[in-house]
Amino acid sequence: MKKKYVVFSILLIVSVLIYICIPKIKKEEESNKTKPNVNTNGFLTLMLEQDDGTYKKTSASTWPGDGYAFNNELSGCERGGELVYDREINIVKLISSGSDKCYVYFDKYNVAKITNVTNTKTTNSVTLTVTTEAGENPIDKYYFSKDDGNSYQESASQTYTFNELTPNTTYTFKVYAKDTLGYETNEETVQVTTNAYINPVVNSITVTDTTTSSISISVNASGGTNSVATYYYSINNGAYSSSSSNTKTFTGLSKGTTYTIKVYVKDTNGVDSSVYTTSVETINEIFLADVCSNGTNLATCIKNYYNEAGSDMSSMYYHTSSLANSAADNSYRYAGANPNNYVCFGSTASACPSDNLYRIIGVFGSEVKLIKADYTTTTMTGSGGDYYGAYDSLTSYYKGSMNTRNIASYHWNYINGTSSKNTWSESRLNTTNLNSSYISYIGTTWSNKIATHTWYVGGYSTTSATPKTWYNAESSGTTYRAKIGLMYVSDYGYAASNSYWTTNMNNYESAINNNWMYMGLNEWTISRYSSYSYYAFWVNITGSLNLSDVYNQDSAVRPSFYLTSSTTYVSGSGTSSDPIRLS
């Protein structure tokens, strides 16, 4: 038996090129079907191998099926015509310049068959795996084509991978094999479309923090075919900056301004995502709740509040020695028309009762100083001690919401009308109304949150002085320790915007629209007159500082006190409708 080749069909055409047509040998599952007729037309002699190895001319009207293989070496033509096997279209071609007579030999031989070709694919590769059915001899080589049979890659393995392909492109792959005697299997054709390249994508942008001058974001991005490698950020259509982090903080921004933020990502293959765009507005005014969390020390919260937004706000001042006309005591004081410095004290009701609204004067060291937002009634500070009666002065300036006939009016210190003194330790307003009646009114739970504090009660000699002058006078001399007191003259002076700090307090009516502590009624301060023993200072209805004797003048009061240094923040933004809640 000579070297053999599998044949599928042979075509004979008499012309310039003459083809011997041999219909394709059917696959195994079709082997029992009727074979096509042999059309010899007198040109073709079909020779079949016998069991003894000889060849015999056959007059069969059909081509031989499975178990035969085309013999390339014996097959030939009398006039030199060349028989060439064309695997692509499964025919044997007769190449001749004229008519010819050809002999086509078939050997008895079981050639291995390709029964299946499977594939796996990526965006730029396809791996083919060939399954064969055994023939008389084992497979020696496999041949793989990715260009529809124009070229082949030889491999000893039944698996072959084509790389560097184009994404989302259809390729026509062809596969055949040869056994150890050189006989070729059938050729199988497989069309495979490579995967489309999946770009990375920015799914969302989350704003994690905003201040008056900064915006912080977190980007949620996912890779496609390849993972995310780099993030690119732009604000207000500016140049992009790159980062390996999915978080970014833009700084140096203007308060209350809307910014356009754009983000895209690049994957490890250098492929870009589309641009994700969002708009974010910086805070116009920051609230305490923006920098404080439940359980944070209240004094620390307020200091952080200033440090976060103090340079962009006019509602609080840090009184350092470099701040012009300030107290220079390193206190943090609220100032201006209506800062968000409300506190609910003495109640845990979901809506804070108006009688429980207080306001923060400032932070002094580790303690926060409060003052009642509105004046007291006899229910709060009692009708004993230095109580005078219901408030009956002019009321057109009053900024509160109570009926003024319910507001209690007090002397600063009334004993017998002639021998009263302006010594605060002897004042019944101090000892009876504030540090007895009022403490009883708020109850033990809340009074325990109030520090026993040193109050400066040395006094000063004139209303014609600036807040700075007043502060210097008050911060030295006589002291008195107690829980409850009244506002200092300097407290009232520094509650105005800083443009008024060079104004003498007797002319402070000009500051009433920019001073949150002004409430529009005659109101006592804790400060006394140092030149006479029976005078004390009070703020009149127009907002200026006045001086009167302690037993004839009657005025409203607002208790003031320092919270213990352990007091912590719970919630609240500091507005009157959402006051700060304390632990």
**Looking at residue 36, what is its pLDDT?**
41
Q: Are residues 424 and 527 in the same domain?
A: yes
| 6 is a domain residue | no
Tokens read off for 480: 């008195």
- Shared domain for 432 and 545, answered yes or no, is yes
Same domain flag for 391 and 330:
no
Residues 471, 514: one domain? yes
Q: What integer pLDDT is reported at residue 307 of this predicted model? A: 85
Query: Does 16 fall in a domain?
Result: no
Same domain flag for 251 and 397:
no
Tell me the whole-structure pTM to 2 decimals. 0.57
pLDDT at 78: 84
In a 10 Å sphere around its CB, with 0-12 CB exposed, 13-18 middle and 19+ buried, how is residue 311 labelled? Answer: exposed
Q: Could you tell me if residue 355 is inside a domain?
A: yes
- Dist CA 100 CA 20 (whole Å): 10
The values of phi and psi at residue 95, to 5°, are: -100, 110
User: What is the pLDDT at residue 63?
Assistant: 66
Q: State the pLDDT at residue 62.
A: 67
DSSP code string of 210-221: E-SS-EEEEEEE
Residue that finishes a domain, picked among 108, 134, 167: 108
Shared domain check, 536 and 390:
yes
Same domain, 405 and 552: yes
Output helix, strand, coil percentages for the chain, rounded to the nearest 5. 15, 35, 50
Residues 254 and 350 grouped into a single domain: no
498 shares its domain with 545: yes
Distance CA 32, CA 264 (A): 63
Residue 351 domain-assigned?
yes
513 C-beta neighbours (distance < 10 Å), count: 12
Q: Is the dihedral of CA 231, 237, 241, 247 positive or negative?
A: negative
Q: Is residue 189 included in any domain, yes or no?
A: yes
Same domain, 495 and 551: yes
- Domain residues for 265? 201-281
- CA dist., res. 281 & res. 150, Å (int): 63
Q: Which residue has the tokens 């009184």?
A: 319
Q: Give 53: exposed, middle or buried? Use CB within 10 Å, 0-12, 13-18, 19+.
A: exposed
- Domain end point (choices 108, 126, 152): 108
- State how many domains the chain has: 5
- Give the DSSP letter of residue 290: G
Report d(CA 129, CA 315) in Å as an integer: 76
Characterize 383-405 residue by residue with b for buried, 16 or more Cβ atoms within 10 angstroms of its Cβ, and e for exposed: eebbbbeebeeeeebbebeeebe
pLDDT of residue 93: 67
The answer to whether residue 433 sits within a structural domain is yes
Q: Classify residue 20: in a domain, yes or no.
A: no
Identify whether 5 is part of a domain.
no
Are residue 319 and residue 343 in the same domain, yes or no?
Answer: yes
For 232-266, b where at least 16 C-beta lie within 10 A, e where not — what string? bbbbeeeeeeeeeebebebeebebeeebebbbbbb
Q: How far apart are CA 309 and CA 315, in angstroms?
A: 10
**Tens place of pLDDT per residue across the chain (583 aa):** 444 433 333 333 333 333 444 333 333 333 333 444 444 444 678 888 888 889 999 887 666 767 888 788 888 888 887 776 665 555 566 676 667 788 888 888 888 999 999 999 999 999 999 999 999 999 999 999 999 889 999 999 999 999 999 999 999 999 999 999 888 888 999 999 999 999 999 999 999 988 778 899 999 999 999 999 999 999 999 999 999 999 999 999 998 899 999 999 999 999 999 999 999 998 777 778 878 899 999 999 999 888 876 545 568 999 999 999 999 999 999 999 999 999 999 999 999 999 999 999 999 999 999 999 999 999 999 999 999 999 987 778 999 999 999 999 999 999 876 668 999 999 999 999 999 999 999 999 999 999 999 999 988 999 999 999 999 999 988 999 999 999 999 999 999 999 999 999 999 999 999 999 999 999 999 999 998 889 999 999 999 999 999 998 999 999 999 999 999 999 999 999 999 999 9
Mark which of 166, 193, 220 sits at the end of a domain.
Answer: 193
Same domain membership, residue 239 and residue 175: no
